[in-house]
Amino acid sequence: MLMLRVNGEDYNVFTEPWKTLVRVLRDDLGLTGVKEGCNTGSCGACTVLIDGKAVKSCLVLASQTKGKEILTIEGLGKNGLHPLQQAFVERFAIQCGFCTPGMILAAKGLLDENPNPTMEDVKLGLSGNLCRCTGYVKIVEAVLVAAEMIRKGA
């Protein structure tokens, strides 16, 4: 049995020890906001925060996260839209939406470390996350807008 702490709640999960975190979150906990794209660490769709750091959950065994705090997109939006979610909607930074949970969590990891990023900082911070739809301009804009909202206390 595996004990996981996800989005502020404790879970006891009966699962295979070789399963990756993305598979356990999706298959065993039903948290399908986390997406599985390449499964090789290349696309970033599976990004979650582990102890505040953006991590590609297809590269981590769920059993390696024991005692750590995991945040998925479901947890980020638990008490209403987070400024990043709001800015992504308002700035049209979402098309098909497949990359969006990973993008937003990667952006959250970035803004928690650097609340006042430049455009280059955002581009660099999101460089491990691929989007096949938007062309990235709107995504980068949305992150900068969200950073400003957070700085102003949103």
Write out the residues near ligand FES by the rule CB under 6 A: 36-39, 41-46, 56, 58, 94-100, 131-134
Q: CA 108, CA 86: separation in Å to the nearest integer?
A: 13
Count of beta carbons in the 10 Å neighbourhood of residue 118: 10
Cβ at position 54, least distance to ligand FES in Å: 11
DSSP designation for 11: E
Cβ at position 67, least distance to ligand FES in Å: 22
Cβ at position 151, least distance to ligand FES in Å: 26
Residue 9 or 35 having the CB closest to ligand FES: 35
Residue 41 or 115 having the CB closest to ligand FES: 41
Residue in the structure block whose two tokens are 């794209």: 37
Q: CA 44, CA 101: separation in Å to the nearest integer?
A: 9
Residue 9 or 90 having the CB closest to ligand FES: 90
Q: CA 78, CA 20: separation in Å to the nearest integer?
A: 24
